[in-house]
Amino acid sequence: MKASIVIITYNRADFIEKALQSALSQDYEDLEIIVCDDCSTDNTQEVVHKYLDSKKIHYHKNKKNKGQLANYFFALKELTKGEWLFILSDDDFFENTNHVSKCMQFALKNDVDMILTNSKTYNTTITSSCHSDIHKHFDLKEYSPDTLVDTWKQFPEILDSACCFKKEIFFKGFGDSALATPEESMRICEDHDLLMMKNRVGYLYDISYVFTIGGHNLNKFKVDMYQFITMLKSFIKPLEYAANHNIFEMRELEAIYLKKWAYYKRCASFVGKYLGDEFDVFVKYVIANYNDKNIFDLIENKAREYSSKFQTSINLDINKFNNISHIYDNKKLKLDDVTTALIYGTKIMGIEAKKYLASLNIDVVGFIDDNPTSPQIDGVKVYDSSILKSLNADIYVIATGNYLYIQNMYNQLISSNISKDKIITI
């Protein structure tokens, strides 16, 4: 059974090599690796060409830029020959060499159309498990359709984890649509939702897929108001399916998709900060009126309205954030002569940062939190950020993946007379 790893890319020469190496390391024999370059202007082509001696890799460069979704759709539909498709982002990687073979073995033994796998995040220094609290709560360690559906209803973001799926299923009613362009309505996470409703999803607990996060990772859905709001179009097809097959009550569907929307807003903090309660009312209207023949036009008009209102402000926010990009640079160089550190952030990234610093024999003398809820974490005292001026350390580590939080934390440190050269994020 042939499998295809698909890497769509645009100007990621600095990151794609790790993705390619992890794809080539897979021990599954009947495998092709498709790299679809959306007319990159950097040296992405040069990096990929170093690996073209392998017969498994097939490189295609578009003559003109298609855009992220159109390129994604084109690569899956036109370039792949595999029965099963594995999506690998150009800055992510597989940690284990048997990731594909394990999934294929699972597919042969179980009647499923898609396989979810556990995953973790990586920000060039530390790693942490994705949605670890969800996995622990539901004890997700082996395949159980009922458990997966129950999990999805409470935590719809679980489907944003790593996966592979059957090509024929993806394009049978999912990728093709009645809209003007298939790629306009194609959002992989909502196709996941349809498969979940059909109980056609399997789950592997093994952690192999690694998501890279960091300052570089500002894709269009995180910074473009129009692109972000039009993502609401992708809610319509799953809602129609659920209603037509009496799978969930409307009240339950509304709860699921409002949670999903809230998760998307958290992930896209530059855009999400401008989408307040008024817009949430609009999202509720979209969910309740999914069968309105004008619903796509309503979403389109709302996207244009909010883009006109807020995109300039979003661009200014991004420029401000880019001005502090030095906190991502030369992390290891800055840590060479460090003996003490204060960590700004007490959630999972803060705890993982403490472990990493301990591995370098750096003493974490405290955590900093804007609203402390516990006096200690892992035996280390938690300080309120209001007393930052009275604290001292060789280095101050911002531990969050939310860009706006990073900006606010950085400003708080600077206003407390902390030198910008002592502030990093890992």
pLDDT digits (tens, 9 = 90+) for 101-157: 999 999 999 888 888 887 777 665 555 555 565 666 666 666 566 677 777 777 776
Residue 330 has pLDDT above 60, yes or no: no
Q: What is the 3-state secondary structure (H, E, C) of 286-319?
A: HHHCCCCCCHHHHHHHHHHHHHHHHHHHHHHHHH
Range(s) of the domain holding residue 180? 3-213
CATH code: domain of residue 58: 3.90.550.10
CB within 8 A of 243, min separation 6: which ones? Answer: 250, 253, 290, 291
Give the least confident one: 66-80, 201-215, 304-318: 201-215
In this predicted structure, the answer to whether residue 37 has a pLDDT above a threshold of 90 is yes
Residue 404's CATH number: 3.40.50.720
| Positive or negative: CA dihedral 402, 331, 224, 130 | negative
* Shared domain check, 165 and 77: yes
Distances (CA, A) of 28 to 3, 105, 218, 282, 400: 9, 10, 32, 47, 36
pLDDT band at 348, cuts 50/70/90? confident
d(CA 171, CA 173): 6
Q: Which amino acid is at 252?
A: E
The average pLDDT across 1-24 equals 94
* Residue 5, SS3 per DSSP: strand
Q: Which residues contact 247 (CB under 8 A, 6 or more apart)?
A: 197, 241
Domain count, the chain: 3
Looking at the structure, do residues 23 and 166 belong to the same domain, yes or no? yes
Residue 405: helix, strand or coil by DSSP?
helix
Q: Please check whether residue 76 is in contact with residue 100, taking contact to mean a CB–CB distance below 8 angstroms.
A: no
Residue 129: phi and psi, rounded to 5, are -70, 140
Residues 420, 333, single domain; the answer is: yes
Mean pLDDT, residues 362-390 taken together = 93
| 282 pLDDT more than 50 | yes
Domain match, 104 and 253 both: no
Q: What percent of the chain has pLDDT over 70?
A: 82
Residue 220 in domain: no
The domain boundary, picked from 165, 190, 213, lies at 213
Q: How many CB atoms lie within 10 A of CB 148?
A: 20
Residue 77 DSSP label: I
Chain centroid to Cα 257, Å, comes to 18
Q: Facing residues of 162 across strands?
A: 117
What does the mean pLDDT of the chain come to?
Answer: 83
Same domain, 201 and 306: no
The H helix count followed by the E strand count for the chain is: 19, 15
- Cα distance between residue 106 and residue 111, in whole Å: 9
The secondary structure of residue 424, as a DSSP letter, is E
45 and 191 share a domain? yes
pTM of whole model > 0.75?
no
Using CA atoms, how far apart are residues 175 and 76, in angstroms rounded to an integer? 10
Helix boundaries (H) for 57-112: 68-74, 99-109
- Are 32 and 170 found together in one domain? yes
CB atoms near residue 50 (< 10 Å): 9
Tokens for 300, please give them: 């389109």
